[in-house]
Each structure stands twice: as C-alpha cells, then as structure tokens.
Structure 1
Amino acid sequence: MYDVVVVGAGIEGSATAYNLVKNGQKTLLLEQFPLPHSRGSSHGQSRITRVAYGKDDHYAVMMKEGGKLWRSLERESGTSIFLNCGCLAVGKPDFHFIKGTIASLSRHCIKHDILTPGDLRDRYPMLSLPPDYVGVFDYSGGVLRADKALRAFQTLFVKYGGELRDGEEVTGILPGSEVTIVTSQGEYRARKVVLTLGPWAPKFLPKLGINLPLKTVLTLVLYWKEKNKGEFSADRFPTYKNVRENVEVYALPSLEYPGHVRVCYHDGPETDPDSRDMADTGRILSTMKSYVREHLPSLQHTPSIVEPCMYTNTPDLQFVLDRHPSHRNIILGVGFSGHGFKLAPVVGKILCELAMDKTPSYDLTPCRVDRFFNTKARM
C-alpha cells in the first residue's frame, strides 16, 4: 500500500514525486519506458525559461516562485540547471505578443529592455529582421538544462526514500477508496494516484471515463550549424522568441552540440505517440528552412540534427491540474501544451498539494477540468 502512486516519470511526474516524498508520503513513481528515454516530452538537453506570460498572468505569478525553486533544486542536487542568458522577444510593436510581454514584465517588476529596430541591429547583428520589428529583452530568462533537471528530481526522489520503477507500463487503473494500479509486471494499491501521462493522456484517460479535448502533436527539435564559429554562443545570443500570426519560432544559443544553434517551430501535426515516427513533418522543415534563410542568415540553411518531441495541447493551451470529476483520489496533471517544463517545480508542488488534500498554493480556475464541459465537474 502506497500513499501515492505517480504514473509517468517525465518532468511533471518526477517533480510531483519529489515533492510527495519530501512531504513524508510513501510514493511509487512508475514509467513505461526504461530511463532515460526520448519517447515523450521531457527529454533533450535544454528548454527556454522566462517569466513574462502576456494574457496568462497566472503562469507569470507561478514563474516568480518557479525561478526560486529551480535555484533550490540546483543547490540541493549540486547540479547546474539554469543558465541566465536572458530571453529576447521580437515582433511588430503593436502585436499582442510584444504588448503582452512588456505589460507582464512591467506588472511583475522584472528588469527588461525595450529595443528599437536600430538597437536590435546593433546588439544582434546575426539577426535579419523586418525593419519595423522591436525587441523586448527579459533579464530573468534563459536556458534550463532539461536532462539534468529531470535527473535531479529523480535522483533526489530516490535518495529521500521514493521508489522508482521504469520499464513498467500501466495497463489499467481501478478506482475506489483505494486505487488499484495494474501494470505489465503486477498490481499496486494506493490511497491516491497522480496521472502525469504526457502524450499518452488522450489514449489513457477515456479508460477512466473522462474525455478531455487533448491533442498530441509531433514537433521537430532542429539544430543549425553556425557559419561563423561562436557567433551564437550564450554570451552573445540569448534565448529567442518570434510569435507572429499562426507561427511561433523559438531559438536557444549554441550549447548542446558544438557550433549548432537550436531553432524550432512551436507546433506540428497531430500524431499517435505510439507511432510518432510515421507523422509527416515536411511542413515543419520547409517552414523552418525559409525562416532561417530569411532571418538567421549566419546559420546553414539546412538543419544538421533533427530530433522528435511531442506536445499534448489543450484547446486553450492551459494546463489541466485537477481531480478526476468522479474520483477525488485520482489527480490529473496533463495538457502542458509545450510550455510546462519551466513550471515543473511549481506544478509538482501543486499536484502534491492536491494529492495530500491541501489547499493549492495558486488559484487553479484556469486549469480545471470543468472548463471543457457545460456542467461543472463534481469537486
């Protein structure tokens, strides 16, 4: 008998398990693939982190604590996780993304610079942007070393007495006052279950009688070789976001592969996570080749390294952090929509609070299950 079983050892599940065991809960963390693996949404070496969130101010509020929690994890694990190289947003000055970014940074008193088109040209000569583009530089942003962060949560979870079982797929969950978790290797019982299922949430949750409008998409993580060595190093080039109508592009400095810059398209075709390699990604590649040729001419125009990754999107791109509508002891942490990694320490804290029947530290109204249905779920 466990106090809590967490299903899914991606970044959200691992952060949740870590918080649970630190709060004295006998916790089992289950993962269907042998660790480490690259089949879900939490693998890879880096992620962008930033505070500004425009209209979604509740995430900006969470990120103010999130930064502190990442620093705490660094100290606790003895691992360097956060590289504070800043985050540059570019776009037309009247576009909602730029206006929202400036408003969010100002509202939360985050140090930032507003860059004129001339400032952009002077500070970032490797960029070739439209003449009417402005920039917003967020001093609090930067890079999270994703693989090290994931390993730190898992290592500390086991160190503090948690039980981690990988290569063990959950095939069924039987609700009740005590939940039975059926796996490929046996059965477990728990007072509470937390489901952090990543791309498998749309396939698994209907088995529990809940059909959320989740969509799993495949995107490509693309690395482009520098023409001039060192031009995109972290001391010269920050993390980067360009959001336009129906197109969102992001970039990270040259960190992971020598002389290569990560420049990616934030979307992709809907896919089945069990057959993701069959998805047609031609549109992503053609879009990004055109973008790099036009706006990042100091990079080779064809990516040298291509890696797959999946997002699990909700229609409103908000998370689902809630209890099952009919079973209060089954907690859902799904639908992170491609922007959940940086918030993992806070998400882990929140899901831990829900599992322990504590009042959540944040207003979770935007993340409730019942927003998808006409009648409110029973809470």
Structure 2
Amino acid sequence: MTHSALPRVLVVGSGIAGLSTAWALTRRGFAVEVFEQGQVPNAKASSYDEHRITRHAYGTFDGYARMMPDAFRVYEDLWADLGVRHFEPLPLVVLKREDVPWFDASRASMDELDVAHRDIPLGEVASRYPMLETEGLTGAYEAEGAGVLFPIRILTDLVVHLAGRGVRFHAGARVDAVDPETATVRVGAATHRGDVLVVAAGAWVDRLVPRLKGVAVPSRQAVAFVAPPPDLAEAWSRAPVFIDLGLASGTYTLPPRPGTRLKVGDHEFTRRGDPDGDRLATDEDVARLFAAAALSYRDFDRYGVLERKACFYTVTEDESFIAEAIGARGYVLSACSGHGFKLGALMGEGVARVIAGERTRDELPHWAAGRRA
C-alpha cells in the first residue's frame, strides 16, 4: 500500500493525548497530521512539565486503578519505540492527617492488583523523612508500582520519532473549527481534509466541541518549584513521591531528579480561568498551595521559591476522561483532573483501537471513564 493510500487521520493537539494517539495510529499503518496552535510540543499545553507522578494507588477511582497495569505496559511499548525510558521508579509514600476514603481505598485496589505496600510506623516517619511535618499525622504507608514520568522529554522524543515515521506537524496552526462529519479542520482560510478526525485539544477542547462546554471545564492550577534548605538537600535527593491527604494540608510532591526541580502541588481544582492566559502563578493562585505545603513540610518558609507556575487541567464533575465518537468520522479525547499523563499513552492507544476497528465506538466512553463493561 502506498503512503497516499493509507487512511489519513487529522489530530488536533500535540499534548500527550494527541501525540499518543498519533503514535498508536502510525503503528497501525495510518497516515497522521497533527495540528498545534503553538510550537510543537507546546509549552502552554497541560502536558508540558518537568515530571509527573504515576502510580497504581488511585484512591476511590478503582476503575482507573485497574487500568494502571495496562497504562504501564503501553508506556513500556513507547520506551521500546523511542529507545529511551523516560520513567524513574520511586516509592510512593501516602500520609493521612484526616480520615479520608482515598487512604484505605488505594490499599484495597493495590491488594486486588497485587501491588506491594506496607505501613510506616508513625514513630519512624521523622527519622526516615526529616522534611515532613509529623504533627497531625494519623497514618502512613509506602507503596511500590509508582514513580515519575518526564513529560517534556517524552513529548519531545515523541515528536522526533513521529516525524521520522512520516507524521506531518502543523505548528502555529490555530484551529478555528472542526467538522467531525466530514473529518475536516479549518485553519484560517485553509481547510484540511482527512478520513478521520481526533480532537485532543486539552484545555481548549470545549471551543472546538461546543457540547463539552460546562462539562470539560478548564481549571487553572498552581504548582511551585522550590529549593530545599541546604541541610535537607541530601534527604530530598533520596526522597520518594509524597501524597499528603489532609483537608487543609493536601499536597502532592515530586522530589528533584536529574534534570528536574522539587515540585509541590495541591489537590484542589479551581474550575476557572482562561487557558489563553499566562503561566505565571499569582499570589492568589499559590495562597492555598503554600498554606497546605506549610502543614505538610517542616519549616517550609525556609524553602526558596524558584518558580510559581500556573497550568491548566480539564475537569469533569466526576473527574473522568472523555473519549467518544463525535459525528460520523470524528472523536474527542479529553484528559481530566491531572490523570492525563499517567493514562495518556493508554488513552491514545484506546482511541486508535476504535479507529482501527479493534474496539467498537460504543465501548469507548465507558472504558475511558474507568467503568466496567
């Protein structure tokens, strides 16, 4: 079959969802074009970050917990294609300060998946992790099956790999409209035609798929990159990933790894903001985060702030992915609530399976939402 005879898929968005879909399609012999409003990859995209947590511990989202073994497997397939493994296994330490369902629900799902985890006696927390604030702790455990993904490296290597496989990238091509009935994309005065359309536009998805307005809501989130005090630098270099479960102290923290900085974020979704805005976090953006971090980490006021960054997630009411058919020849894929990078490669694979006829269109939404068939 000649290249011109291959079914052509137009993908809108070059974040992890769009690039993973393109990757999975090229492996199946499809021709792919990717449209991106900024540079490729786009530094304003939700996916663009130094490192992100991945884990089997998933709290009350037991459907997504059951998908994580497949998510890890698909990333291994990606590493094999890229020739480099942009993942570092690290333990996950979960801390509890209030009685929240996430703590025990994660242990139950890890038991089901046979993922090792063990309690940490509260009396040992301070000596093992001197950076932690132990006041108010009521429980702690360490889990395997976790670590950090390195998104900027993944996105960049994916772009290079896909270009080498014949994927055509349209950088600086802000898509004004899509037609999922005819698989067409309009950029300014130009109309691009394909056989299938996939809209994976991140925080901008509701502008191209109007029925997602108010359903997939852009949410401006703040993270902080910080430098620990010198006396804690060595401890942080050996630190695990931390999740602190507290109504006031809720934080997630990724330790510094080669090429990355120490990053702290929180669990609260703002459900507001314009994704066209800048990515510099304001005092208002970080107020809740810094207050929470001060409850999670001893003497947090001694940490130097390197960057206050605003990013955007797309959030649904139930924090689930949206992946479904739109029109006769279109699909939409929207990552939600920070799950995007953990499951991004698997979601792209799932959409590609439907386009290739390996799974029905009707199955896709339930699968992507983490529901049993």
- How far does the alpha carbon of each residue in 1:127-158 deviate from its partner, in whole angstroms, 9 at most, with x for none? 11334421121111111011111123222222
Per-residue CA deviation, residues 294-314 of structure 1 (Å, 9 max, x unaligned), is 331255355221222111101
Report the residue type matching 1:309 in the other structure: C
Please report the TM-score for the alignment, with normalisation by the length of structure 2: 0.88
Structure 1 match to 2:343? 343
Maintained 8 Å contact 2:37/2:174: yes
1:6 and 2:11 matched: yes
Greater displacement, 73-82 / 314-323: 73-82
1:257–1:349 distance in 2 versus 1, CA, 3 Å: closer
Structure 1 residues 363 and 11 mapped into 2: Cα distance closer, same or farther (>3 Å)? closer
Give, in whole Å, the separation in 2 of the partners of 1:269 and 1:179: 30
Q: Read off the aligned partner of 1:263 and give its amino acid letter.
A: V
**1:340: how far off?**
1.2
1:48 aligned to 2:53?
Answer: yes
Q: What do residues 314-360 of structure 1 show as CA deviations (whole Å, max 9, x unaligned)?
A: 11100101112xx1321110142211101111111001112223316
Cα distance in structure 2, aligned partners of 1:277 and 1:147: 16
Conserved? CA contact 1:48–1:144, under 8 Å:
yes
1:332 is aligned with what amino acid? V
The count of aligned residue pairs is 360
Question: Which ranges of structure 1 fall in alignment gaps of 5 or more residues?
Answer: 369-379
Instruction: Tell me what 2:233 maps to.
Output: 230
CA contact (8 A) 2:87 2:148 kept: yes
Distance 1:145 1:335, change over 3 A: closer
- Once the two structures are superposed, the pairs formed by residues 186-205 of structure 1 within 5 Å of their partners are 186-205=190-209
Distance 1:193 1:85 in 2: 37
Question: With structure 1 as the length reference, what TM-score do the two structures score?
Answer: 0.87
Deviation at 1:167, TM superposition (A): 1.1
Identity, % of aligned positions: 23
Q: What is the aligned counterpart of 2:101 among 85, 96, 105?
A: 96
Distance (whole Å) between structure 1 residues aligned to residue 16 and residue 288 of structure 2: 29
Residues 98-113 of structure 1 aligned to structure 2 (within 5 Å): 98-113=103-118
Which amino acid in 1 is paired with 2:8?
Answer: D
How far apart, CA to CA, are the structure 1 residues paired with 2:157 and 2:312?
22
1:303 to 1:333, Cα distance in 2 relative to 1, 3 A: same
Instruction: State the one-letter code of the partner of 2:61.
Output: D
Which residue of the partner structure matches residue 333 of structure 2?
333
* 1:216-247 Cα distance to aligned partner (Å, 9 max, x none): 1111220121112533444x211111233376
- Return 5+ residue gaps in structure 2 as ranges: none
Structure 2 partner of 1:358: 358
Distance 1:53 1:219 in 2: 20
Distance in 1 of aligned mates of 2:160 and 2:294: 42
Task: Give the alignment's Cα RMSD to 1 decimal.
Answer: 2.5
Alignment of 1:271-286 (within 5 A): 271-276=273-278, 281-286=282-287
Provide the rounded CA distance (Å) in 2 between the counterparts of 1:5 and 1:212.
Answer: 25
Could you tell me which amino acid in structure 1 is paired with residue 194 of structure 2?
A
SS at match of 1:64: helix
With over 3 angstroms needed to count, the CA separation of the structure-2 counterparts of 1:164 and 1:337, relative to structure 1, is same
Report if aligned partners of 2:34, 2:167 keep a CA contact under 8 Å in 1.
yes
Q: 1:297 & 1:195 partners in 2: Cα distance?
A: 44
